[in-house]
Amino acid sequence: MRKSLLSTSVLACLFFSSTSGALAQDQFEDSKPSEPDCADAAFYEACVDEEGNLNVPVIVADERLSGIYVNGDRLPENPGAVSFADRAQIEETLADHPAEILNTLPGVNIHTNSGQEHLIAIRSPVLNGGAGQGSFLILQNGVSTRSPAFGNVNSLFETHHEIADAIEVVRGPSSAAHGSNAVHGLVNIILPQDMGYNRSRATLSASTLDRYRADLINENDAFLGALSVQHDAGWRDDTSVDQQKLYLSTEFDLGDWGAEAWLSAMNLNQETGGFIQGFEAYEDEGVSESNPNPEAFRDAQFAMAAVSFTNDLGQFDADIKPYARWQQMEFRQHFLPYKGYEENSHHAVGVQGEAETWLGDNANFRIGGLVDLASGDLLETQPDAFGFFPGDSRFPEGVHYDYTVDTQAYALWGELDYSFTDDVRVLAGLRAETHEFQYTTRAPAGVNGRFNVPENRDDSFDLVTPKLGIIWDDAIGEVAIYANYARGQRAPQASDLYRLQSLQTVGEVKSETLDSVEIGARGAVFDGRLYFDIAAYVMEKENVFFRDSDGLNVIDGRTDHQGIELQANLEVTDTLTVSGTLSWADHTYAFDRPANGIVSGNQIDTAPEWLSDLRLAWQPTARLSTSLGLEYVGEYFTDEANSAMYDGHTLTNARASYEIRDEVEVFVIVRNLFDIRYADRADYAFGNHRYFPGEPMNATFGVRASLN
């Protein structure tokens, strides 16, 4: 029973300690959990609520678990690398873009483009195209925001990170509970579902860059509602952003089943800034503020809903989640030479569930499954003639692609947690899934310039992914060590299969497979004043699919990945804390492609070797809190041939907040304190150095209030 086990674990609070051994079946059926010692926990709010009461979930007839405990993917005492940002950190950061909070976690490197656009890296290079869509699983409350075949490289802007109780990042292939799209890792936005406080909370802010934001939450005994609204005038020319997010949640009973239902919706309208071009063009203030693509835009809408039904069915604890999702998006492809229009959409219904039981005193078994039925559409058109030279007919006007893909995804998985001793446990898992595609084109089939439109066809992919880990709790004092093997595998994206280039052959795209081995240690030393979490990994990936710098698709690449990640938190004094992350990674090609300079052993482009985030927090009084943060991104190559490079950057951010009276707090955030000229994203493509320039120094002023 994972919920009962969680109710007795400290959760550190969320990951700051490890439990030793497993509870016997008769222990957790009748026992009451002891209160955790939260004194040394960095995530204090996970242990103590706003009223100062211990927030320890307990399984009783009329009580439900916090969403953090129910919806988290990997328990903190299990093998594997997982990091959390808790609600206090989320509120303090006040991230206008989710990258700002996620990049403080080890092994994560999210590049922001323009407005809410971005590309993700988790134990990987920054990936785009089909790889960027399908290599990372994005969840809200444990439910994927996209069906497996219809990913989105900008997937984080569909989540409601502003009001999250916690954000969980699992680095590397996840547990057996998650399959296709969780290749390099997952991000789980855990939204508030606890009710009964009968209060309202509001955060209002404005910045010197003409960016305004409001986050409102209201909750009572039966209902929780949240609204986030942001308007950004854009510090670059013609780059305004308007975004609205809505979240609703309620609890009810259906017979013997407890239920939590929630709805999340988002609307985005933005004018998009394009790349500025020229070597180190971001150093020029005037060029940085310009927008070479004033015609670019992105309009997107998204909604998803789910109900979690839970019940104790004798020997099994069951959790069944039916869900539905819908999205549509239209944008100008300013990043491509021909600047086409794209319209895409998909809708889906599905159900995921799991059941958990104890097998004797030492073994815990979980079994689960997934059914996802989806239908997606894509239309790409080119409004104007384009060519690199007179007579260039590779980019014809009119329709390039116009198709529908209906998909069915089925999965079955199981995990066994076995305790050899009170301190040594093994976790073994296996997942099997199948994906079926039915593709129908409305555009004429055949090669049209550079674009290859397949005939109507069906495709299917079968995946099997094993997991095996071992953890030794309290191996050295309060330090646990672990080792973990996992395979990540993803079926191709619909765009991988049917949005082909002229030199591709229909049906040659395969499932990407990544094998990962990692070892790690985590725990508290120096009487609990220093917590650390360190992990080292080696990964090999096959059948890599990506678009090269000439805009052509590569279908059979191989890459190698290795790295070390460290996260630590040191309580220097009662008022001063130093925390930070340090990541070293080596991402290399393991194949040759002479056409665009790829040589086995070359560094993969857009893959910094070093990433670091350091934070000093000082709270001299109960009402005043201050912090100073440093964010370091190391140098990286911007092309596959390793002939162009970005030098990296270091940014400084400062924050201060003061509680002027009970439940009313004012704050100021200064980003890029020393006004460094840098690039959020550097790239080399189509013969040009290209950059998304980073924001200049700016300050955000705001107030946060709670009304009981």
What are the tens digits of pLDDT across the range 234-252? 999 999 999 999 999 999 9
Give the residue-averaged pLDDT of 396-423.
Answer: 96
Which token pair is 178? 């998650």
First and final CA of the chain: distance in angstroms? 35
Cα–Cα distance measured from residue 435 to residue 144, given in angstroms and rounded to the nearest whole number: 16
- Lowest-confidence pick of 191-200, 204-213, 392-401, 497-506: 191-200
Q: What is the pLDDT of residue 315?
A: 86
Q: HSE of 36 in the Cβ direction (CA atoms, 13 Å)?
A: 30
- Strand stretches in 507-604, DSSP E: 512-525, 530-547, 553-571, 576-589
- Lowest-confidence pick of 351-355, 402-406, 448-452, 505-509: 505-509
Tally of CB atoms within 10 A around 290: 17
Instruction: Look at residue 27 and tell me whether its pLDDT is greater than 80.
Output: no
Instruction: Look at residue 390 and tell me whether its pLDDT is greater than 80.
Output: yes
Q: What is the pLDDT of residue 41?
A: 35
Q: How far is CA 366 from CA 31, 485, 639, in A?
A: 22, 19, 44
pLDDT level of residue 551 (50, 70, 90 thresholds)? low
Cα–Cα distance measured from residue 626 to residue 666, given in angstroms and rounded to the nearest whole number: 12
Give the residue-averaged pLDDT of 280-309.
Answer: 97
Tally of CB atoms within 10 A around 560: 16
Q: What is the gyration radius of the CA atoms in the chain, in angstroms?
A: 25
Cα–Cα distance measured from residue 376 to residue 438, given in angstroms and rounded to the nearest whole number: 10
Identity of residue 460: S
Q: What is the pLDDT of residue 194?
A: 67
Instruction: Look at residue 419 and tell me whether its pLDDT is greater than 60.
Output: yes
Whole-prediction pTM: 0.89
Q: Could you write out the DSSP letters of every residue in 139-190?
A: EETTEESS-TTS--TTGGGGS-GGG-SEEEEEESS--TT--TT-SSEEEEEE
State pLDDT tens for residues 79-119. 789 999 999 999 999 999 999 999 999 999 999 999 999 99
Which token pair is 120? 């993700």
State pLDDT tens for residues 59-78. 222 333 445 545 555 455 67
Tally of CB atoms within 10 A around 361: 12
Instruction: Look at residue 178 and tell me whether its pLDDT is greater than 60.
Output: yes
Q: What is the pLDDT of residue 14?
A: 31
Q: What is the pLDDT of residue 518?
A: 96
Contact present, 467 and 486 (Cβ < 8 Å): yes
Give Cα 76 to chain centroid, integer Å: 18
Q: What is the pLDDT of residue 546?
A: 78
Q: Can you tell me whether residue 256 is helix, strand or coil? A: coil
Contact present, 367 and 355 (Cβ < 8 Å): yes
Give the residue-averaged pLDDT of 201-218.
Answer: 96
Cα–Cα distance measured from residue 516 to residue 484, given in angstroms and rounded to the nearest whole number: 8
Q: What is the pLDDT of residue 72?
A: 54
- Lowest-confidence pick of 6-10, 293-297, 306-310, 352-356: 6-10
Q: Is 488 exposed, middle or buried (0-12, 13-18, 19+ CB in 10 A)?
A: buried
Q: Please name each of the domains of the chain with its CATH number.
A: 197-707 (2.40.170.20)
Q: What is the pLDDT of residue 225?
A: 95
- Lowest-confidence pick of 46-60, 441-455, 514-528: 46-60
Residue 180 or 303, more confident: 303
Beginning with the edge strand found earlier in the chain, give each strand of the sheet holding 81-86 in spatial order. Answer: 81-86, 166-171, 185-190, 136-140, 143-144
How would you classify the pairing of strands 185-190 and 166-171? antiparallel
* Residue in 318, 200, 191 with CA at minimum distance from that of residue 261: 191
| Residue 124, φ and ψ in degrees, nearest 5 | -165, 165
Cα–Cα distance measured from residue 110 to residue 85, given in angstroms and rounded to the nearest whole number: 15
Q: What is the DSSP letter of 150?
A: S
- CA dihedral (511, 187, 647, 96) in degrees, to 10, reads 140
CA angle (567, 124, 267) in 5-degree steps: 90
Q: How far is CA 383 from CA 396, 404, 507, in A?
A: 9, 21, 29
Q: What is the pLDDT of residue 593?
A: 87
Mean pLDDT of all residues belonging to the chain: 88
State pLDDT tens for residues 663-708. 999 999 999 999 999 999 999 988 899 999 999 999 999 999 988 7
State pLDDT tens for residues 590-628. 999 887 888 999 999 999 999 999 999 999 999 999 999
Give the residue-averaged pLDDT of 421-443.
Answer: 96
Contact present, 659 and 642 (Cβ < 8 Å): no
Q: Which residue has the tokens 């000093």?
A: 616
Contact present, 180 and 148 (Cβ < 8 Å): yes
Q: What is the pLDDT of residue 80?
A: 83
CA-CA-CA-CA torsion sign (281, 287, 289, 295): negative
Give the residue-averaged pLDDT of 168-196.
Answer: 88
Give Cα 497 to chain centroid, integer Å: 24
Q: What is the pLDDT of residue 70?
A: 54
How would you classify the pairing of strands 257-271 and 241-254? antiparallel
Q: What is the DSSP letter of 454?
A: P
pLDDT level of residue 147 (50, 70, 90 thresholds)? very high
State pLDDT tens for residues 483-496. 999 999 999 999 99
- CA dihedral (21, 24, 29, 30) in degrees, to 10, reads -90
Instruction: Look at residue 432 and tell me whether its pLDDT is greater than 70.
Output: yes
Residue 40 or 567, more confident: 567
Which helix (H) or strand (E) element contains residue 442?
A: none
What is the length of the chain? 708
Give the residue-averaged pLDDT of 652-667.
Answer: 96
CA-CA-CA-CA torsion sign (55, 58, 63, 69): positive
Q: What is the pLDDT of residue 666?
A: 97
Identity of residue 126: V
Cα–Cα distance measured from residue 394 to residue 382, given in angstroms and rounded to the nearest whole number: 12
Residue 305 or 56, more confident: 305
Instruction: Look at residue 10 and tell me whether its pLDDT is greater than 70.
Output: no
Give Cα 701 to chain centroid, integer Å: 27
Contact present, 11 and 18 (Cβ < 8 Å): no
Instruction: Look at residue 45 and tell me whether its pLDDT is greater than 50.
Output: no
